[in-house]
Amino acid sequence: MEEGIDYDEVLKEAQDLGFAEADPTADVEGHDVRAKIAILAKLAFGTSIPIDSIPCKGITNISTVDFAYAKQMGCTIKLIGTACRQSKFGEHDGDICVYVSPKLVPNDHLLALANGAGNAVSISSANMGIASLTGPGAGRYPTANSIVADIMRVANDTCPTTPFPLSSNIDMNNDFVSSFYIRISFRDGLGIVKSVGELAEQTGVSIHSILQQPITDRMQADTVVTTESCALSQIQELCNLIEQEDYTLAAPVYMPLISDY
């Protein structure tokens, strides 16, 4: 999709290569990433995270238009699972935040380099800074290798007795803080930018920039708003208000910018 190829064509190619299942729901809706980040959150923080409690947004609403805007911003788009301790929430300071969402990722960031069947993990800590792990995350040979290795561990009785040695009961709060990208599909007319600005002010969202490619079809166009750091709940409220406006053609597409974590 970075190269302008439509979603359906890219998905079919991924299925043909064995990178996506015949039923691609777990892949494209982020369920596979959600399972992985739940395990990583338990390893990192010692708290068991119920899968169903993890907000999960997939890539089905992402289009080639979003990649074009991302490129304009020096970024790409990746589906990312995030688990972190919050540090911007006052009374919720220190709570765990776990979620799955597409994100805009700067091109020079480690996670931007995970292409094809590649997976990447970026670990940020106070003492080590950022550490990273990369490797194949799909395909018949990597999958078969992992399954056989697990079977051998069970058969040889070499499985760890405590796969999750850390245990804690840290509170969760998934109303995370980030800068956001919002794409608005609209029917062209006067006062649209003014309206979006007023709705942003109403919801306490500070706009960082407005991007718009030249309009070639006044009945259907797109504009992008990026925001300063704010809570997810504020962005959801803003997008709900924008969707109700007469000029809006569809629910706005929003996603975090990875620069905040």
Q: Is 36 a catalytic residue?
A: yes
C-alpha distances in angstroms, 92 versus 81, 115, 180?
A: 21, 35, 21
CATH says 7-155 is which class?
alpha beta
Kindly tell me the burial class for residue 139, based on how many C-beta atoms sit within 10 Å of its own C-beta (0-12, 13-18, 19 or more): middle
In what helix (H) or strand (E) does residue 180 lie, and over which residues does it extend? strand 180-186
Q: What is the pLDDT along the chain (261 residues), one digit of tens a residue?
A: 566 667 677 777 776 776 666 777 777 888 989 999 999 999 999 999 899 999 999 988 898 899 999 999 999 999 999 999 887 555 666 889 999 999 999 999 989 988 877 889 999 888 888 888 888 877 788 889 989 999 999 999 888 778 888 888 888 888 999 999 999 999 998 999 999 999 999 999 999 999 988 888 888 899 999 999 999 999 999 999 999 999 999 999 999 998 643
Span 6-25, pLDDT tens digits:
767 777 777 677 666 677 77
Residue that has been written with the tokens 């290569």 in this structure? 17
Count of beta carbons in the 10 Å neighbourhood of residue 18: 14
Sequence spans of domains, the chain: 7-155, 177-260
Among 36, 57, 103, 194, the active-site one is 36
CA distance 49 to 170: 10
Long-range contacts of 245-251 (CB under 8 A, 24+ apart): 245/195, 245/199, 247/186, 247/187, 247/188, 247/189, 247/192, 247/195, 248/184, 248/185, 248/186, 249/185, 249/186, 249/187, 249/220, 250/185
CA distance 127 to 47: 21
The pTM of this model reads 0.84
Task: Name the CATH superfamily for 177-260.
Answer: ACT domain (3.30.70.260)
